[in-house]
A = this chain, B = another copy of it.
Amino acid sequence: MSKAERTRSFIIERTSSLFNTKGFAGTSMNDITEATGLTKGSVYGNFKNKDEVALAVFENNSTKMQKLIAAEISKKKSYREKLLAYPEMYESNYLGGALDGGCPILNTAIEADDTHSELKEAASQAFTDWKDKIAALVKAGIENKEFKSTTQPEETAINILASIEGMVMISRLTGKLNYRRYVLDALRKQIQEL
């Protein structure tokens, strides 16, 4: 890893939670230099502009989340258990502990949808990838006869993700753990009925 690559990674690492909590517009280059201890020139030597930092940070946060998810899912054997890992992860605050500020896809989607097309596109792509992963699990479960043959993979994946993202928003907004439980319980039931 070259010096430049190390510095890039360092900047991304140090500013990941910054962007995910304060948003793109709310994070200043000054915040970035303070969080890293680097100078402005150094940041601009490694990134073309703030947009590029934000994009790299988004990819980092999004990838980190997917890796955490994949790690948990790989521990489970059956496809139903793999899907049930989702309510489990959110119940235990497994993802929340690693990612300050909530779901990066949700955060980015909401901030960028009307204002920042590049970030929006990145978030859209990350969402689609995630959806495809869940749909693939569902499809494999069907082929493996774990799930009913009438189950629709993409439809199921979208519904799981809608519930999860809605739940994340609600629980972060209200701080009520029972609201989270309501959604996760319903999600578990939904997965049992696949």
Q: CB within 8 Å of B: which residues of A?
A: 21-23, 25-26, 101-102, 105-107, 109-111, 113-115, 120, 123-124, 127-128, 152, 154-155, 158-159, 161-167, 169-170, 172-175, 179, 182-183, 185-186
Measured CA separation A155–B184 after assembly (Å): 11
A-B contact pairs, 13 of them (CB 8 A): A26-B111, A101-B114, A105-B173, A127-B170, A127-B173, A158-B179, A158-B182, A162-B162, A162-B170, A165-B166, A165-B169, A166-B166, A166-B169
B21, B120, B159: the one within 8 Å of A186 (CB): B159
Evaluate contact between A159 and B170: CB separation under 8 angstroms. no
Evaluate contact between A115 and B182: CB separation under 8 angstroms. no
A113 in contact with B23 given A158-B183, A161-B166, A182-B159 (CB within 8 Å): no
Which residues of chain B have C-beta atoms less than 8 A from A158's C-beta?
Answer: 170, 179, 182-183
Which residues of chain B have C-beta atoms less than 8 A from A165's C-beta?
Answer: 165-166, 169-170
Which residues of chain B have C-beta atoms less than 8 A from A120's C-beta?
Answer: 173
CB distance from A143 to the nearest CB of B (A): 21
Which residues of chain B have C-beta atoms less than 8 A from A109's C-beta?
Answer: 169, 172-173
Which residues of chain B have C-beta atoms less than 8 A from A173's C-beta?
Answer: 105, 109, 113, 120, 123-124, 127
Which residues of chain B have C-beta atoms less than 8 A from A23's C-beta?
Answer: 23, 25, 111, 115
Which residues of chain B have C-beta atoms less than 8 A from A172's C-beta?
Answer: 109, 113
A128 in contact with B174 given A110-B106, A111-B110 (CB within 8 Å): yes
Which residues of chain B have C-beta atoms less than 8 A from A170's C-beta?
Answer: 127, 158, 161-162, 165
Which residues of chain B have C-beta atoms less than 8 A from A159's C-beta?
Answer: 163, 182-183, 186
